[in-house]
Chains A and B, each alone.
Chain A
Amino acid sequence: MTRTRISTLLLTLLTCLLLTFSTALASSVHDGARLLKDDQKAALEQKIQQVEAAHQVKIGIVTMKSLKGASPAQTANTILDKQYAGGKNGSIVLLLAMDSRDFHVSTDNTMRQIITDDGGFPHLREAFLPALKENHYYQAFDTYVATTDELLAYYEKEGEPFDPANQFSPLALVIAILLGVLAALGVKSGLESMMSNVAYAPSADAYLKDDSVDITESNDLFLYTTETRRPKPKKSSSGGGGGGSHGGGGGKF
C-alpha cells in the first residue's frame, strides 16, 4: 500500500511538473534528456508538422532523464492527455526515460483505431526500436515519425488499420514454395508408387506357425538417465497497451 501511495504521489508531482513546463511541452519535441542537437530537433519538428498537417493528428516526442519511479505508461498517457490531446484524427506520443531505459508509445482512442495495439503498434515498435537500442536517437525518432506517417497514410488509403498479418511476406512465400514443392514431390512419388506393386518380401511373418512362439527370456535392465534442457521461448520485453482509454505499448530499449 505504501509503495502505491508513494507512486501515486510521485506521479502527481510529475504531472504538476509537466504542467508547470507546459509551454515548453507545447512543441512536438520535448528533449528533456538532451539527446538531440538543435538542428536535429528542428528537423524533427518540421517533419512532424508536415505529418500533422497532412493527417490532422498530433504527434509528440518526449525524452526525460528520469521518471523518478513513476510508471512509463501512466506518464506517457498523462502527457498525451495534457499536451497532445485534440488531434482531429487522434494523437500519439513517444516517451523515453533514460535512467531506466524505458520507452512507451501512448495513443488516444481515435489514434488507436488507426494504429492498433495488435497490428500497427508492433510494426511501429519494430521500426524504431533497433536504432533506439543502438542509441541512435535522431534516427529512431525520425523512423517513428515516418512510420506513423506511413500507418496513417495506409489507413486513409485502405480504409482499415494496418495489420502485419495481412501484409505480403517474402519469407512466408519462400517457405510456402518449399512446402509446395515437397507436397508436389510427395504426391508424385505416391502416384508413381501406385504403378508398381513389385517388391521383395522382407520377412517371413506370413509363415510363422500359429502358437509356436515361446518367449524364454524377458529381462529389462535400467541403465542410466540423460537430461536435456531447452530454453523456453521467451516473450518479447515489449508489450501492447491492452484495454483502457489509451493504446500503444512500451518496453525497454
Chain B
Amino acid sequence: MAESAVNYKCPNCSAPLSYQPGKETITCEYCGAELATKAVEEMYAQAEERATARAELEDKKWETEKAGNEWAAEDEANLRALVCSSCGAEIVADMNTMSTQCAYCGNPTMVPQKFSGQLRPDYIIPFKKTKEDAIAALKEFYKGKPLLPSGFDSANKLEQIQPMYVPFWLFDAKVDAHASFHATNDKTFETSDEIVTITSHYECNRAGKMAFANIPVDGSEKMSDDYMESIEPFDYAEMVPFTQAYMTGFLADKYDVDAEASVPRADKRVEESAVGVLAGTVTGYDSVNCKASSVCKEDGAVAYAMAPVWILTTRYQDQPYTFMMNGQTGKTVGSLPIDKKKSLLYSLLVFALTTPLFYYIARYLLTEMWEG
C-alpha cells in the first residue's frame, strides 16, 4: 500500500504500458484499454510529484518514552504486588486492599510481594459502575439470546466479580494521509438487441491532515485485546491525573506489554481511520476502491492510563465463561454458550417455512422465463 515509487502501468490491468510520446492515445497491449495520452501523462506527473513529496515527509515515531512517570517513594511503599501461584498473574493493590483469589484463573492463593519496576500512570478513569450494576448488566446481557441454553441463566454460578484497573497506552497523533482511489461510473442504455454499459474510470487522489486523541491499546498480556477493544469507548472527559487514592478497594493489573510493543496496533487503527476519512470524500461514483495509501505521523504522543473494568466469571457445565464490563460506561461484552439443539431447531424451522415460499416463487419465475 505504501507509495514510494512510480511505475508506468495500465490503470485497468496493471500491465506495463508501451508509452509512445506524441500519440494521442495509448492502447494497453494486454487488456486493450484505450487511454488518452494526456490523462496518462497527467496521472504520472501527479504520481511523481506525490512520490517526491511523500519521500520528503518523515514518519515521526510515537514518543513512547514519555509515557508514564516514576513512582514517588511513599506511593511505592504503599503498594504491593500480588502474584498468583497458579497462573503467574501479577496484580497491584494498595496495602488496604485484599485480594482473595486471582481475577484471571480463580486460584485462591495470591502471594504478596514488594511492588517495584513499574511506571506510574499519567491518568486514571475512575470506576463509576458498582458491583450491583455489573451483576444487573450481566443479567441484561443474557436477554434476547434465542440460542442461550435454557438452564444457563439459572444454573450458572457467578463465581467471581472483580473490579480491575487495566493498564492502557493512550496514543495521540496528528497525521498527514494520502490515498489514491479507483472510481467508476456506469451508464447503461439499450439498443434493439443489446444492453450496453459504458463504464468511465477515474483516478481520485485525496490528501489531508487530521488528528486523533487517546486511542487506547491495552498493556496487559492477560487481558484479551478483543475484549478490551470491545468495551471501548471510554469517556475521556472524566479522565483525571493519576492519584493513588483511586486505587483504594480496587486491584490494578501490571502492564506487561510496553508502549513500544503497542505501537503497531495503534498505527493500524490510525491508518484504517485516516484512509476511511479520505474515502468518505470520494463521492458521486458508483464504485470506489482504494489502490494505494500512505499515512505519516507529524506528531505522536503516548500517555499511560488506568481504565476501570469489571471482570465477571461464571461457570456452566464445568466450563468457565468470562464477561467484562466497562467500569465507566457499563458496556458489557462476552461470549455465551450456544445450545446446538436450539440452533438446529431454528434452522429447520426457517428451512421448513421458507422452502415452500421459495418453491412457488421459483416455479413462477421459471414459468415466466420459459414462456418469455
Residues of A within 8 A of B (CB): 118, 122, 126, 164-165, 169, 171-173, 175-177, 179-181, 183-185, 187-188, 191-192, 194-209, 212-236
Contact = CB atoms under 8 A, between A and B. Distances in A.
Nearest to A206: B233
Interface string B262-275: 00001001101100
Nearest to B36: A224
B367 A164 contact: yes
Contacts of B205: 217-221
B302 interface: no
Contacts of B210: 208-209, 212-214
Interface of B: 11-12, 33-36, 39-40, 42-43, 46, 144-148, 174, 178, 183, 190, 193-215, 224-227, 229-230, 232-233, 266, 269-270, 272-273, 276-278, 281-282, 333-338, 343, 346-348, 350-351, 354-359, 361-364, 366-367, 370-372
A196 B337 CA distance: 9
Contact of B359 (A176, A194, A199, A235): A176
Contacts of B225: 200
A232 B194 CA distance: 5
B35 A201 contact: no
A195 B212 contact: no
A179 B202 CA distance: 38
Contacts of B372: 233, 235-236
Nearest to A227: B198
A207 B230 contact: no
Nearest to B348: A184
Chain B interface mostly: mixed
Of B337, B364, B366, most buried by chain A (CB within 10 Å of CB) is B366
Contacts of A171: 362, 366
A165 B363 contact: yes
A229 B194 contact: yes
A229 B346 contact: no
A223 B199 contact: no
Contacts of A201: 229-230, 232, 269
A219 B46 contact: yes
B29 to A, nearest CB: 15
Contacts of A221: 39, 42-43, 46, 202-205
Query: Which 8 interchain pairs have the tightest Cβ spacing?
Result: A180-B355, A217-B207, A176-B359, A196-B335, A176-B358, A212-B211, A172-B363, A172-B362
A126 to B, nearest CB: 8
A207 B214 contact: yes
B338 A192 contact: yes
A118 B370 CA distance: 12
A213 B204 contact: no
A198 to B, nearest CB: 5
Given A176-B361, A215-B206, 10 more contacts: A172-B359, A187-B350, A204-B269, A212-B210, A219-B204, A220-B183, A220-B204, A223-B201, A224-B35, A228-B197
Contacts of A183: 350-351, 354, 358
| Most chain A C-beta atoms within 10 Å of own C-beta, residue among B43, B213, B346, B367 | B367
A180 B230 contact: no
Contact of B229 (A188, A200, A214): A200
Contact of A196 (B35, B193, B270, B334): B334
Contacts of A219: 46, 204-206
Contacts of B336: 195-196
A250 to B, nearest CB: 15
A208 B277 contact: yes
A217 B36 CA distance: 23
Contacts of A197: 230, 333-334
A136 to B, nearest CB: 22
B246 to A, nearest CB: 23
Given A169-B362, A204-B215, A214-B208, A180 B145 contact: no
A232 B12 CA distance: 27
Contacts of A209: 210-213
Given A213-B210, A224-B35, A232-B193, A205 B273 contact: yes
B267 to A, nearest CB: 10
Contacts of B204: 219-221
Contacts of B190: 232
23 contacts: A164-B367, A169-B362, A171-B362, A176-B356, A183-B354, A184-B348, A191-B146, A195-B145, A198-B227, A198-B335, A204-B269, A204-B270, A206-B232, A209-B211, A214-B209, A215-B278, A217-B206, A221-B205, A222-B36, A223-B40, A226-B198, A227-B198, A229-B194
Contact of A226 (B193, B199, B229): B199
Nearest to B212: A207
A231 B144 CA distance: 50
A126 B370 CA distance: 10
A215 B207 contact: yes
A208 B212 contact: yes
B354 A204 contact: no
Given A122-B370, A226-B12, A231 B230 contact: no
